[in-house]
Structure 1
Amino acid sequence: MIEKPIQQFEAAPVVNGLSVDVEDWFQVGAFEDVIDRDDWDGLSLRVEDNVARILDLFAEADVKATFFTLGWVAKRHGALIRRIADAGHEIASHGFDHARVFNFTRQEFGADIAKARQILEDASGTSITGYRAPSFSIDGRTPWAYVELAEQGYAYSSSVAPVAHDHYGWREAPRFAFKPLPWADLVEIPVTTAMFGGKRLAAGGGGFFRVLPYAFSRWAIRQVNRTDGRPAIFYFHPWEIDPQQPRVEGAPLKSRLRHYTNLHKMAPKLRELVHEFAWGRMDMLAHIEARRAVDLAA
């Protein structure tokens, strides 16, 4: 009798959350003190062309993602928002004009997310169930933000960077999905961190992805997938693939270094990333993560 060989099965790869924070080059937190919001409409609008390049990259890799979009952008680029949705990607909210949550009162925050949601839903023809705070600005100072999100019917937020950083961060927050309110279904899905020497390292994309070698991101995502058994949450911005964008000379040196370093390397690195790992939309990931989220109040 000839024995049949034992079949070897590889575990299915963890599907990670891929996200784009849709804002133009002049709307970033690094330039908020040198570029006035009243001047935005007079500046070169580059977000539409940059998002088109991102859509082509995602189509090439056959991946779907979530586009956390400013209401300000959607109001001026409605056709672009519909194109994103028609391509099978999720449209989610990034607030109206990139104001940080901890600078709002609860009432102002509620008005901001309601305004942005209406514009995004009108432009995309889809329901908006996800939110990401500009500059990851939900933290220990803003417990009311989750109450407002829950009462307005949001299913998930991805607004926390659980690290210490001079620009943002809530280092006491859990590294992985948690339920910030015991009475609500709302789940918070923090951006990815990796562990090294007992310390948390920011590893979810953005400037860290641009500045550090690609090998760091590969190591971090593999650690989260294989050691923790959880999905990584990765983000970037359309302006990060745009080396030809205007330079803001009046900004602080640190802000300019963070914003402009390695812009020319970003697109090739993204291409490698989206082909190497499994990626999906944040709303689909939220359904899975909600079932195993820890209760922050527990």
Structure 2
Amino acid sequence: MADRSSSGAARTAAALAGVPAADPDADLTAHRGEPTAVRESPPPDRPAPVPAAHAVANAAHTAPDRLWTVPNLLSLLRLAGVPIFAWLLLVPQADLWAIIVLAVGGITDWLDGKVARLLGQYSRFGALLDAGTDRLYVLVALVAFGVREVVPWWLVALLVGRDAILTACLPLLRRCGYGPFVVTYLGKAATFLLFWAFPVLLAAEFDNAFGVLCAAVGPALLGWGTALYLYGGVLYLLQVALAVRHPAPRPTARPAAPPGDTAATRTA
């Protein structure tokens, strides 16, 4: 009876976190960048359920750790644009070129996942690189926009604080036997909205009709992106709670066989 109530509670928490529940003792597989089936590999365009007891797992642990793939090159291109964007925005204040660099970053953020699914080029390195580059781009853009007074500092603190809290949870996940957070469609959508809100807000500084239009659209994109970003953070924290309640099973070492006790001697 206790096992059944515990399993029911796990399914309820998983449902609140937006994670479909499954057999807690089943094996976990996953694909790059998205939250898998229990015995079968999921189709590349649709994530399969993640077991409730394994709601937090690295989505690319079962993928080969390949480095030179097309999605990884796109992520590296986006990563290279981070210092260029910051320099353009803060030093010469070349806003148009900064908008172009930021737009290219947003396109590659959307494209690398599509290419990975199309070509089947999933990798653990790619999943970590994609998520890390997104976080770095959002952090740098927020701080730079705060310095330029494009966005208020309280909003910068709110979004940066969300990432800081989730980063602080990583050692706890590792202690429970899990890797970094599984990237969700909701999280990618929030990042996508922020990636496009930033250049639109920057274009709102232009003294023309296009600037007036961007001044109306930019805050809406930023508002939706911020709401989804914070809501995704809450779901990640629920995943942490599930991981703490259901730690990953530790591998048990087999007892050493007595000297001379081999398969050959047992069948002789």
TM-score normalised to the size of structure 2?
0.25
Q: If each structure's strand is expressed as a fraction of its own residues, which one has the higher value?
A: 1
TM-score normalised to the size of structure 1?
0.23
